[in-house]
A = this chain, B = another copy of it.
Amino acid sequence: MPTGAAQTKPSPHVQRKRRKRRAEILHAALRAFRTKGYHATTLDDIADDLGVRKTALYHYFPDKETILYECHREALGEIKRLMKEAQKLDTAEERLAHVIQEHVRVMTDTLEGSPLAFEVPALSGRRQAQVIAARDRYEGELRQIIDDGIKSKEFRPVDSKLAAFAILGAINWIARWYQPEGPLQGSELGAEFADYLVGGLSNARACDEIPDEMESSS
């Protein structure tokens, strides 16, 4: 029993409509953030995209920052899902390729070329901490995949932390140059990125295995 009031519950059909509207707002915001950045985006910018006055937005979100935060929540959900998928795969190389490919595809195809990684500092206090924690978790898992690959000799022995940062940087930066109307499909882009960024770690190439006699010191 929350704030106990006799509110006639919102009805099932109207709820779906409201949800849809919320999503539309979030995506309009995402588009605006991508081109101008969060701080340079006004509520009017977002509202104009929907053919509405800015005050209408306040029926769905209490303030501007919450809009950004909800965008983050949606994105983090996708990220979490894709990482879970990846964990089912057998080799580190497959896992890493899947993460890169899907991360790129989600950004481009379902998140308006998500510029969210750019806007974490715009969140304040508790929310920023939450998003950073989730991001750190993701980075840690990505790093783990790389370390696993190194241990299994699939990858060269690089600094997994830096490699993870490099990979995420390359991916996040896509928001800066990707054009949804352009000829490049998100999945192709993802495949190319996975190829380049994984190839950079893969030790086994066209040539056969390299014997590992150097690290047996005794």
Q: How far is the CA of A118 from the CA of B173 in the complex (A)?
A: 9
Is B121 in contact with A166, judged by CB distance below 8 angstroms? Answer: no
Question: Interface residues of A: mostly helix, strand, loop or mixed?
Answer: helix
From A5-13, A43-51, A194-202, the one touching the partner chain is: A194-202
Is A177 in contact with B200, judged by CB distance below 8 angstroms? Answer: no
What count of chain A residues pass the 8 Å CB interface test? 41
Is B39 in contact with A37, judged by CB distance below 8 angstroms? Answer: yes
Contact of A174 among B121, B167, B169, B193 (CB under 8 A): B169
Q: How far is the CB of A85 from chain B (nearest CB, A)?
A: 23
From A54-62, A69-77, A91-99, A156-164, the one touching the partner chain is: A156-164
Q: Which chain B residue has the least Cβ–Cβ distance from A202? A: B200
Chain copies in complex = 2
Is B205 in contact with A162, judged by CB distance below 8 angstroms? Answer: no
Contacts A196-B158, A197-B200 given: A121-B205 contact, CB under 8 Å? no
- In the complex, which of the residues A36, A39, A166, A168 has the most CB atoms of chain B within 10 Å of its own CB atom? A166
Q: Which chain B residue has the least Cβ–Cβ distance from A166? A: B170
B-contacting residues, A131-153, CB 8 Å: none
Q: How far is the CA of A169 from the CA of B39 in the complex (A)?
A: 22
Q: How far is the CA of A177 from the CA of B169 in the complex (A)?
A: 10
Contact of A163 among B158, B168, B177, B196 (CB under 8 A): B196
Is A158 in contact with B192, judged by CB distance below 8 angstroms? Answer: yes
Is A121 in contact with B165, judged by CB distance below 8 angstroms? Answer: no
Contact of A173 among B37, B159, B168 (CB under 8 A): B168
Is B36 in contact with A121, judged by CB distance below 8 angstroms? Answer: yes
Q: Is the CB of A40 closer than 8 A to any CB of chain B? A: yes
Contact of A210 among B168, B201, B206 (CB under 8 A): B206
Q: Is the CB of A35 closer than 8 A to any CB of chain B? A: yes
B-contacting residues, A180-218, CB 8 Å: 189, 192-193, 195-197, 199-201, 203, 205-208, 210
Q: How far is the CA of A197 from the CA of B37 in the complex (A)?
A: 28
Contact of A122 among B40, B166, B201, B207 (CB under 8 A): B40
